[in-house]
């Protein structure tokens, strides 16, 4: 049965209160949204909802062992969702956040196992977009930040393609216009003794070298 998908148009540079509250309500009711990030469109759901997370895996046809990253509103929330946080995390986040750098940490027991990667890890980032900051403050929890596409296919920056791909399948599409696209966030694993770049994206390796040595 097709889902009645809502569409809300926003200006990503603004935190429009009424719209943000409507979007937050969908997430609080364990719904799934497609939304514009500072790179591509993502699929968002409460990071604590096993039901919504499983729906995302099904939508993306994603292998269960592939983890899903999350977006947070404030760096201090990391203390609630991660453990054994290395000093290097605070240094890198202090320089590159908010921004397109995903840092992989050891997850706390507060997060569903379905969300996690190898060694119970979780990828975390903080975006500079005002509307997402407002949304996360309204929801009171981080949301998933996996790309809005079928696994293995190209990321999507065009809201029209998002509509064609997900209308009738998810609860809400947040249309924020064309996103920056080009490259995804850079992903750095901080769970081992030495940091490792898992994916080079917007933040180039050259900017990270001093942290990798």
The 10s digit of each residue's pLDDT in 85-137 is 999 999 999 999 999 999 999 999 999 999 999 889 999 999 989 999 999 99
Phi, psi (degrees; rounded to nearest 5) at 18 = -65, -45
CB 156 within 8 Å of CB 101: no
The secondary structure of 40-94, three-state, reads CEEEECECCCHHHHHHHHHHHCCCCCCCCCEEECCHHHHHHHEECCCHHHHHHHH
1 part of a folded domain: no
Q: How many domains does the chain have?
A: 1
How confident is the model at residue 17, as a pLDDT? 95
**Cα(102)–Cα(144) distance, integer angstroms:** 12
34 part of a folded domain: yes
Tell whether the model's pLDDT for residue 1 goes beyond 70.
no
Tell whether the model's pLDDT for residue 2 goes beyond 80.
no
- What's the CATH number where 156 sits? 3.90.870.10
- 153 contact partners, CB below 8 Å, separation of at least 6: none
Its domain, for residue 125, covers 6-212
């Amino acid at each position: 049965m097709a889902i009645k998908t809502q569409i809300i148009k926003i200006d990503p540079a603004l935190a429009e209160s009424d719209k943000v509250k409507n979007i937050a309500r969908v997430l609080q009711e364990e719904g799934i949204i497609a939304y514009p990030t500072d790179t591509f469109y993502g699929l968002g759901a409460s990071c604590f909802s096993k039901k919504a997370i499983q729906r995302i895996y099904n939508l993306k046809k994603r292998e269960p062992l592939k983890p899903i990253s999350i977006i947070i509103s404030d760096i201090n929330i990391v203390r609630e969702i991660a453990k054994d946080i290395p000093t290097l995390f605070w240094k890198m986040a202090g320089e590159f956040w908010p921004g397109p750098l995903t840092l992989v940490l050891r997850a706390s027991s507060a997060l569903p196992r379905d969300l996690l990667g190898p060694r119970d890890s979780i990828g975390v980032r903080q975006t500079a977009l005002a509307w997402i900051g407002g949304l996360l403050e309204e929801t009171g929890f981080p949301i998933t930040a996996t790309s809005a596409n079928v696994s293995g296919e190209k990321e999507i920056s065009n809201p029209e393609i998002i509509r064609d791909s997900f209308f009738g399948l998810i609860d809400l599409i947040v249309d924020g216009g064309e996103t920056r696209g080009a490259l995804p966030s850079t992903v750095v694993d901080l769970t081992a003794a030495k940091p490792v770049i898992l994916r080079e994206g917007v933040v180039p390796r050259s900017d990270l070298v001093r942290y990798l040595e």
